[in-house]
Structure 1
């Protein structure tokens, strides 16, 4: 239930509590003259008189004009007892006055009033279950708000209603204490102090009459549960009348889905302990007999060929009756008709029960209704994002026949933009017609910009800080702009990128990247060297189907390598073989992706494939290629469990001419071809060291949680330390069970994972026995401050340290996290 709906329900509940008007006083409104009047003729009111003037007394805040507006008496009117009673009643009904009195001075009508005080300040304290803003809004809707007229009767009835609201939430110890403090100038302060207490807990649920199924099996999906080890978190042991009502519906559905057509819920009893802390629930039921399907038929105007409709029906003769299967079948036929324009089609499964042989005949009655055309597509809630950005994602078009598949696909495309927290769609019939609808998409925008920062600490590099400003929906245009700067003991980095996903109406993406990086790998935990690199790139993306996109990037970059005394020998040899330490490259990349996921941030179904081939083209300092494949797929096992499988594989190698150079092992001697004992040949064969793959950590593309970032794969010992030098082959995989319902929020989910992977020097050195593995739990939360990812992993397959070669073991890190703050 949304917050606005909660406010409306609360306002209606409170309004109904004070709907009864205050009773009008019926005492004689006129003061009789001192002298005894003469007997009046029969049927004549002796107190009646003609009003020559009206005087109002006792007013403080309310103007006399307001009183005259409501007073049903004017100068020249003949005022009798009946009209006087009506006048008092009318003034009381305004709610402005505590007392109203009518007097007569000659022929002048004197109206004396006592105003009700105004509410100076309204304070609510102690409420947790009902938000203060919702409660204040509900009270304001019925006139109990600061600046409004105070009514004691309204306050008393609101107090009773709040008690009822909390009782419905299982809080029977709630204490509502209203306090009214009188102030000067006929004002009051109203304080409502709430002591909610603790919700009564369900100690026992007892089902009576269930012979076919055990209690635990039936109540497995109930929201109301007996106290269990997860109750501290899920609060499912707290009693609520609404939750119990829903569970009784689930009980009925349980049996009807399993063929028990005669099932009946005979009674529901709820008892509470004397201290109002424990609840005991008992439900009496009659199971009846199981029924099977005897005959299935389709009637009505099917629109489509009848045999095609019959193929959509999974219900067969001899199967157990199931209401769920009937509803599923009806929904399938409705969807098929909705896809060809029949937006309001109905399929009514009509059962005919034969109690004598426990069978049911099912008649699917098809009522297609008129074929519907879409008049307009309307967007609501997009205060920042332009309508054009949403409209270009539409697969349902205005003026076309309605298609449920196109409407649903349009919704998925909006969800995948990443700009919206929720997307809802509604079909609104056009007044005066039965063959037109307006399709309304209501979105709730979320933060599409982010201020990403990372803070870390290590003994080598100390504090590391990175900053990134990114706006995925720049000025509501759908364009992506990113500016990043990173400063730490090992890196200075400056990036700028821009992309327009709809450079053309056909969806051609155009963008470019510019970046400069100064990176000191000696403090980064990998091979010790420093790079100064920069690049300029232009990229294109073209959708070829609804799910498939091809992309291309071309650019030029430069990379200066600065070595140190502790740089691994293999890297020094590569530089010597090439004969220079500055590498220039003309880079071309070709990519293909297929994305059928149903959400950008929290998908629950669908898959993602991406293949890329990157080539340093002829004319570059060194010529090489890299290929990478990424795959992930989400399997919804049930609404509370999703299976994720993912794999990432990368490989690269050199091509073209390989450069060679003879080098001397010992710099203290003179190496000559004749003195070849000290000679060896270095070459530039293989993927360059600065393009190699790494694995390990939580946020890298080679994700193996539980291991330090980039720490897996080949190492080289330089006499002092063992340094990761990366590899030409990367293979990483993940199996993850996601629990989307563990948190009552679409922005958070918990998962249990198993990661496996490693990096190898080349294809020939691959050994499955060298794969590392870890298992653990992870939390992914799209917090108001940005995406937060936390994992705790237990490494399962690791390499121990080798005391002979002095190579250390794997560098593990069980608790890992990344965090970004949004603007």
Structure 2
């Protein structure tokens, strides 16, 4: 007697059901019997024992038609087989199966948007991958998952064609031919239901935008499901920050044009009314610290409810309790609404939890960097009370090393010890060696060529070794330096350097001077941290200077006088001492904080002078996207040996970095023989700059335009008359110079780029103006 049924490839449920329904009628002549033996035919990869485990009968047991039906259903349900047949002959149960093929390989043709390894991992999560049983339904599911990945990236025109290639030993290779198509861009974003705020105001809060002038660069018009979800939350936060406690929104409606190129997004809002706070209270276990916790409450009675201030209060209280060792403190704000009066009573419920201390700090992920390099940056100590502020500081200090792509610091409770936690520091190292070749251009230095090799974490020690070479129209330099940031356990750094410089001082437009200054030397400098933001530095260097290419006719008179007074070659030891404080939120594109630096150099031997320098920067945020920046610099040099101030140590002003709108280095005295720019021993510079978001790139802090006004003066401290050049060429070169203009700053792939168009406001006869100026690799 034989019972069998062929099942279609893609759908298994219906054939199994039909087999169960038809089996009794097909087995009308079948009567129960005791199984003498069981045979399995057709298996290749599946073990016979696996088949036996799914059969509802064993040798020596009675086999019935109900069990035959159950056996077929069980074997089909495994997904291993495309066909199952049961035969009986002389009390022997014969099970014949046809195995489904396995997937030998998964590949992609035409995939550019994603990494194939990541997609293969994603498909594995839906049951489709190498070594899995091939199933048409799983193939359809994999195709759907792959398409969803593309849709999340805005690739709505994607076409996916799976190709199945039979292979020996009942295997198949699966290849997905993919035509990714063009990226669908957001054509329009529309907001419905807003009354309190204009659509433009709400659109400014969102990351996604419609296509605009700069979206080719920012990419904000590229649809992304994740970004859309983020914008939903941003709108919600915007309303909650302004008291709209009953705010709600429907899921955004996303539609696409028939050609799958344009996307339209519609937000439907329900604003409600803003709520004022009738009362603000603290409740729970305050540990008797009411007088310490109460000032941390930022939101006050009578104010409009603000989610931002509420969350800031929660964070402040949690951080404060965390700094006292309460690692698991919980602060829960609970507003109770009075919908008739649109007022709310806000209560912060405080649960400090148990106070804990740190048992162990564990470092992981550092395959090259030594543990001690990371541990010495930790401000949280082992066997000390848990301190959240110290842990945050530790994380920031490790990140500032620049050796790691990722730094994750988290705590883990110690099993069986409710008052202990471990601090785990997991890092992901990045290459810290760098070979760079650069070509730049500046309106003052013209073509700038640079090359260098550096290793910021040599041998995993945290030390830095670098060699840098650059050349331009006016300067050539080669610098070899080594820095040990922890020369002592207290964090005193030591930097040793050797350098070579050859300088051709700046020429004015009508100058014909020809000369150069060559300097080489070495230095030893130390840095002493006195706080998280403050550092004192001191050091000594030796320098040898030589003037070359000198001639009586073409060498500026000031340099002829220097040679007559000091000689063509000089040696000097230079001692320096200074202090700096940096609280900026970013060294690249700061929006708040300040930077202060004071320093003094004292030179001995042939050149006896001192130079005092100061700089102050301050950044004031004005709303979300605007920053007002102030910068002031002062330099004051004087001799103490009775000789005149050495002209080779003069400072310069004019151009980017000081007073824009005037040619670089043009401020200050002129040579009476050649009209060369001489600079001076005293310099004062002030800048005010208003940074504004670039149209279409408002969320990119590295691309900003700005309005500026500059003021500066370069003169000598000797008290003598200001040299005005041949026959009084310049009317007032040492006077105050003012300018104003507009500019652009961008952290470009080639380095920091700054463009400016400035107008000299009080230029006088002989002043050299330069409206358009730019520089790659400059600061404020």
Aligned to 1:554: 540
Q: Secondary structure at the match of 1:657?
A: coil
Partner residue in 2 for 1:360:
344
Q: Deviations over 1:338-397 (max 9, x none)?
A: 221112212222223333433322222211111121222334444443221222112221
Q: Which residue of the partner structure matches residue 305 of structure 1?
A: 289
1:503 to 487, 510, 532: 487
In structure 2, distance between residues paired with 1:605 and 1:458: 28
2:609 alignment counterpart: 624
- Post-superposition offset of 1:585: 0.7
Please list the CA deviations of residues 547-599 of structure 1 after superposition, one character each: whole Å capped at 9, or x if unmatched.
Answer: 22222112322212224222201110121123x21101122111112223345
SS in structure 1 of the partner of residue 642 of structure 2: coil
Q: Confirm or deny: 8 A CA contact 2:104 2:130 kept in the other structure.
A: yes
Shift of 1:313: 2.4
Give the distance between the partners of 1:716 and 1:710, measured in 2 at CA. 13
| Alignment match of 1:332 (pick from 291, 316, 320) | 316
In the alignment, is residue 570 of structure 1 matched against residue 558 of structure 2?
yes
CA distance in 1, matches of 2:558, 2:100: 94
2:385 paired residue among 387, 401, 422:
401
User: Greater CA deviation, 285-294 or 583-592?
Assistant: 285-294
Q: Provide Cα deviations, 1:455-507, integer angstroms capped at 9, x if missing partner.
A: 35899999764322222222222212122345678766443221211111111
Residue 327 of structure 2: which of 321, 338, 343 is its match? 343
Q: Would the alpha carbon gap of residues 445 and 690 (structure 1) be closer, same or farther in structure 2, given more than 3 Å must change?
A: farther
Q: CA deviation at 1:156?
A: 1.0
Alignment partner of 2:520 out of 534, 543, 555: 534
Q: Which residue of 1 aligns with 2:570?
A: 583
Say yes or no: does 1:320 pair with 2:275: no
SS in 2 for 1:775: strand
Equivalent positions of 1:390-469 (< 5 A) are 390-455=374-439, 465-469=449-453
- CA contact 1:801–1:810 (8 Å) conserved in 2: no
Change over 3 Å in CA distance of 1:639–1:341 after alignment to 2: farther
Contact 1:716/1:723 (<8 A) preserved: yes
- For residues 412 and 204 of structure 2, the distance between their equivalents in structure 1, rounded to whole angstroms, comes to 38
Q: 1:122 aligns with which of 104, 107, 110?
A: 107
Q: Which residue of 1 aligns with 2:726?
A: none
**Pair 69,417 (structure 1): closer, same or farther in 2 beyond 3 Å:** farther
Match of 2:369 among 370, 373, 385: 385
3-state SS of 1:505 partner = coil
Structure 2 counterpart of 1:136:
120
- Pairing of 1:114-193 with structure 2 (within 5 A): 114-116=99-101, 118-120=103-105, 122-126=107-111, 128=113, 130-142=114-126, 144-145=128-129, 149-168=133-152, 172-182=156-166, 186-193=171-178
- Tell me whether 560-569 or 20-29 shows the greater mean CA deviation: 20-29
Aligned residue runs from structure 1 range 228-247, under 5 A: 228-237=212-221, 242-247=226-231
1:371 and 2:358 equivalent?
Answer: no
- Please point out which of 652, 661, 667 is paired with 1:694: 652
Aligned equivalents of 2:62, 2:694: Cα separation in 1: 72
| Pair 1:484 & 2:468 matched | yes
Q: Give CA-to-partner distance per residue, 1:722-770, whole Å, 9 cap, x none.
A: 4332221233444252759987999955453637355623156686642
Contact 1:559–1:583 (8 Å) recurs in 2: yes
- Assess if the C-alpha contact under 8 Å between 2:405 and 2:428 holds in 1: yes
1:415 and 1:599 in contact (8 A); partners too:
no
**Displacement after TM superposition at 1:406 (Å):** 1.5
Distance change >3 Å, CA 638–CA 464, structure 1 → 2: closer
1:205 maps to 190
3-state SS of the aligned residue for 1:814? strand
- Aligned partner (choices 747, 751, 771) of residue 788 of structure 1: 751
Q: How far off its partner does 1:788 sit?
A: 1.4
Q: Which residue of 2 aligns with 1:756?
A: 710
Q: Count residues with an aligned counterpart.
A: 745
Equivalent position SS for 2:454 = strand
Which of these residues, 767, 770, 778, is aligned with residue 737 of structure 2?
770
Distance 1:352 1:451, change over 3 A: same
Instruction: Say whether the 8 Å CA contact 1:771–1:797 is kept in structure 2.
Output: yes
TM-score (norm 1): 0.78
CA RMSD of the aligned region, Å? 4.3
Structure-2 change in CA distance of 1:168 and 1:545 (3 Å): closer
Equivalents in 2 of 1:490, 1:71: separation in Å?
86
Quote the Cα distance in structure 2 between the aligned partners of 1:131 and 1:567.
63
1:113 alignment partner in structure 2: 98
Alpha-carbon separation, structure 2, partners of 1:355 and 1:736: 43
* Secondary structure in 1 matching 2:410: strand
Tell me if the contact between 2:653 and 2:665 (Cα under 8 Å) persists in the aligned partners: yes
Give the distance between the partners of 1:211 and 1:456, measured in 2 at CA: 51
Counterpart of 2:390 in 1: which secondary structure?
A: helix
Contact 1:473 1:479 in 2 (8 A): yes
- 1:725 paired to 2:678: yes
Aligned: 1:651 with 2:636: yes
Pair 648,98 (structure 1): closer, same or farther in 2 beyond 3 Å: farther
Deviation at 1:20, TM superposition (A): 11
- Superposition map of 1:81-100 within 5 A: 95-100=79-84
- After superposition, give the CA deviation of every residue in 1:406-446 in whole Å (9 maximum; x if it has no partner): 22222232333333445443333333333222333444444
2:497 counterpart (498, 503, 513): 513
Distance in 1 of aligned mates of 2:772 and 2:477: 26
Contact kept? 1:418, 1:601, Cα under 8 Å: no
Deviations 1:507-543 (A, max 9, x none): 1222322233455559999963233432232222222
- Mean Cα deviation higher: 729-738 or 590-599: 729-738
Question: CA offset at residue 191 of structure 1?
Answer: 2.0
Q: CA deviation at 1:799?
A: 8.7
Aligned equivalents of 1:200 and 1:534: distance in 2? Answer: 57
- 2:200 is matched with which residue? 216
Structure 2 stretches lacking a partner, 5+ long: 1-9, 723-732
Provide the C-alpha distance between the structure 1 equivalents of 2:47 and 2:342, rounded to a whole number of angstroms. 78
Task: Identify the residue that residue 671 of structure 2 maps to in structure 1.
Answer: 716
Contact 1:706 1:816 in 2 (8 A): no
Q: Secondary structure at the match of 1:793?
A: strand
Report the CA distance between 1:817 and its aligned residue. Answer: 2.1
Secondary structure in structure 1 of the residue aligned to 2:483? strand
- Contact persistence 1:461–1:523 (CA under 8 A): no
Check whether the contact 1:726–1:759 (CA below 8 A) recurs between aligned residues: no
Deviation, 1:287, is 4.2
SS at match of 1:412: helix
CA 1:817–1:36 in 2, change beyond 3 Å: closer, same or farther? closer
Q: Note the C-alpha offset of 1:22.
A: 7.6
Q: Distance in 1 between matches of 2:464 and 2:343?
A: 61
CA contact (8 A) 2:332 2:350 kept: yes
Q: Corresponding residue for 2:728? A: none
Alignment of 1:665-680 (within 5 A): none
Cα deviation, residue 607, structure 1: 2.3
